Amino acid sequence: MIERRIPKTNESIPAIGLGTWQVFDVDGVRAVAQARETLSAFVDGGGRLVDSSPMYGSAESVTGRLAAELGVHAKLFVATKVWTTGRQAGIRQMTDSLRKLGVERLDLMQVHNLTDVHTHLATLSEWKREGRVRYLGITHYHAGAHAELASLIEDNDIDFVQVNYSLAEPEADRRVLGVAAARGTAVIVNRPFAGGAMLRHLQGKALPDWAKEIECASWSQIALKWILGHPAVTSVIPATRSAAHAVENLNAGTGSLPGERLRRRIAEEWAAR
């Protein structure tokens, strides 16, 4: 597994993580069993970064319970978010997230979609000094927020930014990724498949010959390796409740990555499809 360093500390984390939006918001026996199998396969395959949010329904609780059942808490780099307004409401929500995830200290707490961002960043700065969180960050899923993300990175000590970036949504490369690299802010990429739209569009289409150059056996691996080919990207977090898909995604974090020339070619071929 390729690992990338967190610029602020030089700690390394695997380049492929696991998102939990929708897929871990489950309560049925079969769906929970699928989530358990997926988390187990993810950790066995070298994955560590698991990302959640209180906005994701039961995802935090399911993640925490399954991590405890599997005995993998110590292996995980756990990230979640604060998604409310007001200082006290934020503190209550973050404290509740720690309980649901089954941890006393969180690896990464992020301000979800910049909700009341300055209030929560002030609290998180305090929590970081106190050792309740290791890293703090900001997130968004839409290009309309990229200018604000970049501005916040420039004006604050932000450890992580989580942003949408893919062949279908490449706008983050216009400013956010460059600012993050310049300021030493780690980048987590969400929506690597544009909410699944990319894979639906490519379903049934043959892989190009050059896929072999970067050891890709699927379109999803091409999409992930294209993202990881950008030097500012620290990790990408495809969401899945399929153990097989989790392993396939993890395999995109191994072997060769496309250089600048091949990344341009991949982007051109995607645009032409």
Distance CA 33, CA 39 (A): 10
Which percentage of the chain shows pLDDT scores above 90? 97
pLDDT averaged over every residue in the chain? 97
In a domain, 144, yes or no: yes
In a domain, 224, yes or no: no
- Helices assigned H by DSSP within the chain: 29-44, 59-70, 87-101, 117-130, 146-155, 176-183, 197-202, 219-228, 243-251, 260-272
Asked whether the predicted pLDDT for residue 232 surpasses 90, the reply is yes
pLDDT grade for 165, boundaries at 50, 70 and 90: very high
**Is there a contact between 163 and 192 (Cβ–Cβ < 8 Å)?**
no
Q: Which two structure tokens, joined as six digits, stand for 106?
A: 């969180």
Q: Indicate the number of domains in the chain.
A: 1
* H/E segment holding residue 12: strand 12-14
In tens, the pLDDT along 104-160 reads: 999 999 999 999 999 999 999 999 999 999 999 999 999 999 999 999 999 999 999
Cβ contacts of 128-132, under 8 Å, gap ≥ 24: 131/105, 132/98, 132/105, 132/106
Distance CA 50, CA 4 (A): 15
Residue 95 identity: T
Range of the structural domain that residue 35 is part of? 11-195+230-256
pLDDT grade for 273, boundaries at 50, 70 and 90: confident
pLDDT grade for 80, boundaries at 50, 70 and 90: very high
What string of H, E and C letters represents the secondary structure of 22-70?
CCCCCCCHHHHHHHHHHHHHHHHCCCCEEECCHHHCCHHHHHHHHHHHH
In a domain, 201, yes or no: no
Tell me what pLDDT residue 158 has.
98
In a domain, 175, yes or no: yes
In CATH, what number is assigned to the domain containing residue 32?
Answer: 3.20.20.100
Which percentage of the chain shows pLDDT scores above 70? 100
The pTM score is 0.98
In a domain, 240, yes or no: yes
In a domain, 262, yes or no: no
In tens, the pLDDT along 200-209 reads: 999 989 999 9
Tell me what pLDDT residue 272 has.
85
In a domain, 221, yes or no: no
Tell me what pLDDT residue 265 has.
94
**Is there a contact between 141 and 83 (Cβ–Cβ < 8 Å)?**
no
In a domain, 220, yes or no: no
